Amino acid sequence: MKQRILVALDIGTNSLKMAIAKIKEDGGLEILGVVEEPSSGVRKSVVVRPEETAKRIASLVRKAEQMTSVHIKEVIVSLGGSRLFAVSSHGLVAVSRADGDISKEDVDRVLQAAQTFSLSQNQEILEAYPTQYVVDGEEGIREPIGMKAVRLETDVIAVCLFSPDLKNLTAAVLEANLEIAGVVPSPLAAAYGMLSAQEKEMGVAVVELGAGTTSLAVFEEEDLKHIAILPVGAENITHDIAIGLRIEHDLAERIKTEFGTCLGSKGKRMEKIELANGETFTFSSKFVGHIIEERVKEIFQLLNKELKKLGKQGQLPGGVVICGGGAKLPKIAEFAKKELKLPVKIGSAKGLITLQEDPAFLGVLGLLVGNLQDEESTSVTQKSSRTAGFLKKLLKSFIP
Ligand SMILES: Nc1ncnc2c1ncn2[C@@H]1O[C@H](COP(=O)(O)OP(=O)(O)OP(=O)(O)O)[C@@H](O)[C@H]1O
Ligand SMILES: [Mg+2]
């Protein structure tokens, strides 16, 4: 039997990440390799110069192929950037069959009806995720197919994007001679990589602290409730340190990753760091701690605002799960707990055996996990009404 391979690509502000997995006979995933390449042509998680990004993708593919001996043709890719946004919408249709049995076609039609709201010219819907169906006024239905009714309604969270962002992402991937198996909103990828069904049922938020962006996905009663991406991330901390200490970016990045910590403004030691030319640079760890705390506090305050909009500030029993490169900042979970007034933990890959324990890779691994779950829901019923496709299959017409 032909081996089934899945390849995921996460285009980040700081780095591009790829994960290659084999689908095992028992249906599980075996990670064959995870590779990373510095990013180029990407600003705040959005491809702005596709030709540059394409070169880095091609180089990433070479690395991945060398590592795994797999020929890579097709990738599942995530789309991020602060122009991604969620819209809550409602759809209503009359059930078409004379006997009143709700069919897959009715579900497709009601999902379509829920996506007929107006967007500005350069915006489009990436995917609509149903949160419930309403069957003749009966709310909270998850599986309407086969039920009898006159009227079928649905509530969806539609994830929308700025069309040129998708166009540039697609151009970069195609230019690197890859085909696109599907596009996933990046906050969802991270969530699929980490969350248990129980956490999603209880109510949980996933926060991915990337370099240029911080993303939020909120789930409740197993369903997606909200998505937001803030245009601020761990790279802003580096900038702040560079400005605060009047030093170059690379030195600031070293200070952040080697000495940085949240809750670090209490210390008062002077620290020394050796420079490439053999000299040493001395700085106050208390001052650096203060700079980091101010920026991280700002990020959590913005996240709190998003939670407040949902009425979920301090109100998520499943707590907050953090990932992304910024999650490596020591004491970030303790800091977040204080700021968000919620239980907080650093995420880990759900049900995957991988040597890659780095939280920065949970997004790309989640692309694989989500895709597998999507494939698993093979029954037409489930696919059409519950998952509605983790993966957005790109229309062929979109590809030049
Ligand atoms: N120990 C650490 N402390 C603080 N920040 C860290 C640490 N290690 C890595 N980072 C930061 O994590 C960021 C990279 O994270 P990640 O790979 O998740 O970002 P990205 O995917 O490239 O960006 P984005 O998702 O925003 O487009 C960098 O800003 C890096 O400085
Ligand atoms: Mg990222």
Task: State which of 321, 348, 375 marks the end of a domain.
Answer: 348
* End-to-end CA separation in angstroms for the chain: 33
Same domain, 342 and 204: yes
Residue 386 maps to a domain: no
Structure-block tokens of residue 295: 């920026």
The 10 Å Cβ neighbour count of residue 246 is 7
Task: State which of 104, 138, 162 marks the end of a domain.
Answer: 162
Mutate to test the pocket of ligand 1, among 257, 261, 364 (most ligand atoms within 8 A of CB): 257
CA of 45 to the centre of ligand 2 (A): 7
The CB of 210 under 6 Å from ligand 1? The reply is yes
- The amino acid occupying position 141 is I
Same domain, 209 and 313: yes
Number of H helices, E strands in the chain: 11, 18
The CB of 215 under 6 Å from ligand 1? The reply is no
Q: Which residues contact 250 (CB under 8 A, 6 or more apart)?
A: none
Same domain, 153 and 202: no
Residue 213 maps to a domain: yes
Residue 128 maps to a domain: yes
Which pairs from 306-309 meet CB under 8 Å and 24+ separation? 306/216, 306/218, 306/226, 306/228, 307/205, 307/216, 307/218, 307/340, 309/226
Sign (positive or negative) of CA dihedral 212, 368, 112, 94: negative
User: What's the confidence (pLDDT) of residue 384?
Assistant: 39
The CB of 366 under 6 Å from ligand 1? The reply is no
Residue 217 maps to a domain: yes
User: What's the confidence (pLDDT) of residue 381?
Assistant: 36
Strand, coil or helix: 315 = coil
Domain assignment of residue 252, given as a range: 196-348
Residue 158, domain CATH: 3.30.1490.110
The protein residue whose alpha carbon is closest to atom 4 in ligand 1 is 329
Residue 312, domain CATH: 3.30.420.40
The CB of 12 under 6 Å from ligand 1? The reply is yes
The protein residue whose alpha carbon is closest to atom 5 in ligand 1 is 326
- Decide: 79 and 161 in contact? Cβ < 8 Å: yes
What's the number of domains the chain is made of?
A: 2
Residue 211 maps to a domain: yes
Residue 149 maps to a domain: yes
Mean pLDDT, consecutive 10-residue segments, the chain of 400 residues? 86 98 89 96 98 98 97 96 96 96 96 96 94 96 95 96 96 97 94 90 96 97 93 98 97 96 80 92 94 97 96 94 97 96 93 75 92 58 44 44
Task: State which of 309, 327, 348 marks the end of a domain.
Answer: 348
Can you give the length of the chain in residues?
A: 400
* Ligand minimally distant from the alpha carbon of residue 230: 1
Distance between CA 61 and CA 35 in Å, rounded?
9
Residue 136 maps to a domain: yes
109 torsion bin: left (phi>0), alpha (psi -120 to 50), beta (else): alpha
- Decide: 107 and 70 in contact? Cβ < 8 Å: no
User: What's the confidence (pLDDT) of residue 350?
Assistant: 78
User: What's the confidence (pLDDT) of residue 352?
Assistant: 72
Same domain, 205 and 300: yes
Beta bridge partners of 30: 22
Name which of 168, 194, 203 is nearest 183 in CA terms: 168
Residue 41 maps to a domain: no
Q: Ligand 1 atom closest to Cα of 13?
A: 27
- Decide: 92 and 152 in contact? Cβ < 8 Å: yes
The protein residue whose alpha carbon is closest to atom 28 in ligand 1 is 211
Check residue 248 and report its DSSP letter.
-
